[in-house]
Amino acid sequence: MSDKTFQAEQNHLQEVYDTLQSTFELIDKSLKENAKTAREFKQDSGKRTALNFDSYADNLDTFAAMETMNKQIDYYNLKQEQMETTKNKITRFLPAPYFARIDLKYPDESQEIPFYIGSAGFSPTPEDPMILDWRSPIADLYYNNKMGQTSYLANNRDVEVSVDTRRQFLLHQNKLDDIFDSDVAIQDPLLVKTLQENKSNQMGSITATIQSEQNVIIRDTDSQALLVNGIAGSGKTSVVLQRIAYLLYRYRENLVADDVLLLTPNCLFTTYINRVLPSLGEESPRQMTFQQLLDQFVDTKTEFEGNRSHVELLSQELPKLELDTNNFRNIKLNGKLLFGKTTIKKYFDQTPKTLTLKKRLTALTSTLISILENTIQRDSLSDEKQAELSELTESQQEKIFGKTITPSSDKQVQQATKLMLQWQFRKVSKVLSNMSWLNLPTIVDNLTKTNTKNKLDYAYANLYLKNLTNKSLRFVMIDEIQDYSLDQIKFLISAYPKASWTLVGDEFQSIQDSKTPLTFDQLKKVFEAHSIKVKQRDLVTSYRSSGPITKTFVSYGSPELINKVKIIQTNGENPQLFQSSDEDELFENIKSQIEQFSLNKLSAIITSETKESQNIVKYLDNPNIMVASDRSNLPEKGIVVLPLTLAKGLEFDNVIIANVNNSYYTGKVGSNRLYTAFSRASKKLFINSIDKFKPNYNFN
Ligand SMILES: Nc1ncnc2c1ncn2[C@@H]1O[C@H](COP(=O)(O)OP(=O)(O)OP(=O)(O)O)[C@@H](O)[C@H]1O
C-alpha cells in the first residue's frame, strides 16, 4: 500500500469524521432548541387556549384550538424522535465510521465511484451517500468477494457494474491504522486481526468481517426454510443475528421486530446475545426458549411431568375426535352454574356436522358468547338489576366505570346496567372466548392413553382445538436446532403456518440423552411433509477456536470432518491433559489450572451437571469463581462454573473440562458432548480426568 493511498484514505476518514462530529453537534443543539421551543409552545398555548366550555360555540372553538395545539406538539415530538435516532446513529458511528470501500464503474460512467460501507448508512445531503449501510444492495458486492464485471440487485433490477477496488480498513475514530486491498480474499486480513483482538465475552456483531458463505445466508430472501448445518464456532448464531438485522432493514416498510421470533437454547444465552442487535441499531425480536414459548399455550398452573410427547398421534387423532359430555366442563360464577356440560354438549351437537371439528368448536364459542350477551341485554332491562345499579357505592362505581356516574334518562340507566353486568360477567366471558369449557385432560389423556401430562401434548391440543395458530408471525429463527425433537418441530410448524424459517445447528452438538436424536434429514422431511421447501447450507470454517483446539473437538465429530474444516486462527496452544487418581487430586489440579488464567478474561469450568459444579465451587472456595445458572447473567470476565447444557452456545477464552472420565461422556452422545464442551474454548483448553483418558486426537 503506497504512502500516498494511505494518506488519501486518512484524509478521507478525517473528512467523514469531521462531518459526523459537526452533524452530531448540530443535532445536539437542535434537539435542545426543539425541546425548549416545544416547552414554551405548550406553556404559551396552554394559556391562550384556556379551556372555555361556556357555550356550544365556545366548545367548538376550544376543541379546534386544542386540535391545532396537539398537532403542533405531535410535530415537535416527531422531530425530536427523528433527531434522537440520527444522534444515536452517529454515536454508534464515531468509534469506527466505516470498515470497507468498494469502487464501482458503471457502464455509462467514465470514472469509478468509491463507496464506503459502515454499520449503518449516513448521507449529510440526499445526493451524497457518505457511508452506505452494510445491508444495502451495493454492499452485497463487497461481501461476495467479486472483482471485475458483475452485477447487483437493486429494486428487483440487475445493475451491471465492474468492481475495481475492494479495500478493508482497520481504524479507530479518525485514525486509520491499516488498509488491506484484497482481490478474492484467500485469507481475510481484517478477519484474522479481528479474531485475534481481545474481545469482550459478550457476543459482538460481525458486520465488518462477514464472510461470503455467511453473507448468502444472511441475505437469503428466497428460501421458505433455510437450514444451516455448521460446525462449532462457524458463526451460526452470529449469522442469525445479522440476518435479523438484515431482514428488518430489507423489509423496513412493513416488518417490525415483533414479527420475528428467536428461539434460544437457554436464558443465559439470551443475555449473552442481547447486545448485538441494539449495537446494530435494531430492536431485538421476541426471544425465548422453547419451554417459555410453550407456556403461552398451556395453563401454567398445571403440573406437567410426562417426558414423552405424542404430537404425531394427536395430529392424526384430534381431527377425527368425537366429543362426549365429559369432554366439556361446567361453567360457574360464584358457585352458581351458568352453563352445565350437558347443555354445552347440546349446543355442540347443534353445530353443523359437516364442518371440521375446529370450525364446530369456533361456532360453539360464538353460540355461547351470544347466549351470554343476550342474557346481559335482557337483564339490563330488568328492575331488579337496575335497582342493583342504583345501590352501587361510589367506590364500586369507580371500580366498574372508572368514575362515578349519574345516569339521567332510562336509556342511560339501561346502558349503565349493561356495563355493570358485563363487568360482573367479565371472567365468564373470558372463559367462553378462551374455550376453557373444553375439558382438555379428558381429551388428551384419553388419546395418548397416559395420565402423566406432557406439556407439549397439551400445548399442541390447545393449539389445534382452540385455533391458536399465529398467522402473522413472519420469521422464526431457531438456534441449536439439533436439540429439538420432531414433535417440537411439528408443533412449531402448526403454530406459525405463514412463517419463513431459519434453522441453525450442528448434528455433532446434539447433547441430549435421546434414543432418537434429530437428524437433519428427518428435519428436512418434516418441513417438506408440510410443503415447506428446505434449502440447506453448510458452514465449515472454524472462527472461534485456535487450530489445535479445533482439531481436537473436530476429532469427536465424524472421521471425514477434519478434511472439510477450514481453520482461521491456525496457531495456538495445544490442549493439555491432566490425569488424577482421585477427586481430591482432580480438584487440586483444577485449582492450579485456574491460577494460569487472567481474571481479565472469561474462563469456564465445564461440568456434567449442576451438582458437580457446586462441589467444585465449594472445594475451590474462591470469591472470583461463580456458579452460573439459567437465571444469572454471564459476567464480563472472571471464572464461571457451569454444566455443559448451559455452556452450549457460549464461548470462553479458557475452558477447563472438570472430568471427562464420567459416564456423561460415554457413547455416541458422549462424543457429541466432548465435541461441544471442547469447542467452547477459543484459546486455552485443559482436560481433566480421573484415571486414564485417551483422546481421539493426539495433541501432545
Ligand atoms: N465472519 C466473522 N467475522 C468475525 N468473527 C466471526 C465471524 N464469524 C464468526 N465469528 C466469531 O466466531 C465466534 C463463534 O461464532 P458463533 O458463536 O456465532 O458460532 P456458532 O456456530 O453459533 O457456534 P456454536 O455452534 O459453537 O455455538 C464468535 O466469537 C463470532 O464473533
Among residues 401, 405, 398, 395, the alpha carbon closest in space to that of 420 is found at: 401
Q: Is the shortest distance between the CB of 270 and ligand 1 below 6 Å?
A: no
In single-letter form, the type of residue at position 37 comes to: T
Confidence of residue 700 (pLDDT cuts 50, 70, 90): low
Measuring from atom 23 of ligand 1, which residue has the nearest CA? 233
Query: Using an 8 Å Cβ cutoff, are 299 and 461 in contact?
Result: no
φ and ψ at residue 472, rounded to 5 degrees: -100, -15
**647 CA distance to ligand 1 middle (Å):** 15
Judged by average pLDDT, the poorest of 239-243, 397-401, 516-520, 696-700 is 696-700
Closest residue to atom 3 of ligand 1, CA basis: 209
Q: What is the pLDDT of residue 62?
A: 61
Q: Given the CA of residue 649, which atom of ligand 1 is nearest to it? A: 27
Confidence of residue 693 (pLDDT cuts 50, 70, 90): confident
Residues 576-613: pLDDT tens digits? 999 999 989 999 999 999 999 988 889 999 999 988 88
- pLDDT of 284 reads 86
Q: How far is CA 229 from CA 157, 279, 486, 514, in A?
A: 31, 26, 17, 20
How far apart CA 116 and CA 176 sit, in angstroms, is 14
Kindly state the average pLDDT of the residues 243-266. 93
Question: Is residue 475 lining ligand 1, measured as CB closer than 6 Å?
Answer: no
240 CA to middle of ligand 1, Å? 10
Band of the pLDDT at 268, cuts 50, 70, 90? confident
Would you mind telling me the total number of residues written for the chain in this entry? 700
pLDDT in tens, 505-561: 999 999 988 777 889 999 999 999 999 999 999 999 999 999 999 999 999 998 889
* φ, ψ of residue 320 in degrees (nearest 5): -95, 5
Report whether residue 132 contacts ligand 1, using a CB cutoff of 6 Å.
no
CA distance readout (Å), 370 to 255, 363, 419, 432, 433: 36, 11, 16, 10, 11
pLDDT in tens, 91-122: 888 999 999 999 999 998 889 999 999 999 99
Q: Mean pLDDT over all residues of the chain?
A: 89
pLDDT in tens, 221-232: 999 999 999 999
Average pLDDT over residues 43-49: 63
301 annotated as ligand-binding:
no
- Give the pLDDT of residue 508: 94
Q: Is the pLDDT of residue 52 over 60?
A: no
| Phi, psi angle pair for 606, to nearest 5° | -100, 130
CA 540 – ligand 1 centroid, Å: 11
**Cβ of 507 less than 6 Å from ligand 1:** no
Residue 108 is predicted with a pLDDT of 87
Ligand 1 atom at shortest distance from the alpha carbon of 239: 18
Q: 188 or 604, which is more confident?
A: 604
CA of 88 to the centre of ligand 1 (A): 27
| CA–CA distance, 391 with 87 (Å, rounded to integer) | 58
Q: Which of 6-15, 25-34, 389-398 has the lowest mean pLDDT?
A: 25-34
Tens digit of pLDDT for each residue in 117-162? 999 999 888 888 899 999 999 999 999 888 889 999 888 899 999 9
Tens of pLDDT, residue by residue over 632-682, are: 788 888 999 999 999 999 999 999 999 998 889 988 899 999 999 999 999
Query: Which residue matches cell numbers 461422556?
Result: 665
Rounded to whole angstroms, the Cα distance separating 336 from 284 reads 47
pLDDT at residue 60, rounded to an integer:
61
User: What is the tens place of the pLDDT at every residue in 332-370?
Assistant: 988 889 999 999 999 999 999 999 999 999 999 999 999
Segment among 263-277, 323-337, 443-457 with least mean pLDDT: 263-277
pLDDT at position 54 over 60: no
**pLDDT confidence of 246, banded at 50, 70, 90?**
very high
Asked whether the whole model's pTM tops 0.90, one would answer no
306 known member of a binding site: no
Query: Residue 194: pLDDT band by 50, 70, 90 thresholds?
Result: confident
Residues 462, 485: Cα–Cα separation, whole Å? 19
Question: Is the minimum distance from the CB of 232 to ligand 1 under 6 angstroms?
Answer: yes
Is the pLDDT score of 51 beyond 70? Answer: no
Cβ(477)–Cβ(217) under 8 Å?
no
Specify the amino acid at residue 603: S
Cα 544 to middle of ligand 1, angstroms: 6
Question: What average pLDDT does range 435-442 have in this prediction?
Answer: 93
C-alpha cell of 176? 486509520
- Residue among 215, 268, 537, 544 whose CB has most ligand 1 atoms within 8 A, to mutate: 544
Distance CA(24)–CA(16), nearest Å, equals 12
User: What is the predicted pLDDT for the residue at 48?
Assistant: 59
Q: How confident is the model at residue 59 (pLDDT cuts 50, 70, 90)?
A: low
Strands, DSSP E only, in 572-658?
A: 576-580, 602-607, 625-627, 638-643, 652-657
Q: How far is the CA of 302 from the centre of ligand 1 (A)?
A: 39
CA distance 295 to 304: 11
Element spanning 102, H or E: strand 100-105
- The pLDDT value recorded for residue 45 is 66
pLDDT band, very low/low/confident/very high, at 202 (cuts 50, 70, 90)? low
DSSP string, 160-212: EEEEEEEEEEEEETTEEEEEEE-SS-SS-HHHHHHHHSPPPSS----GGG--H
> Is this complex's ipTM strictly greater than 0.95?
yes
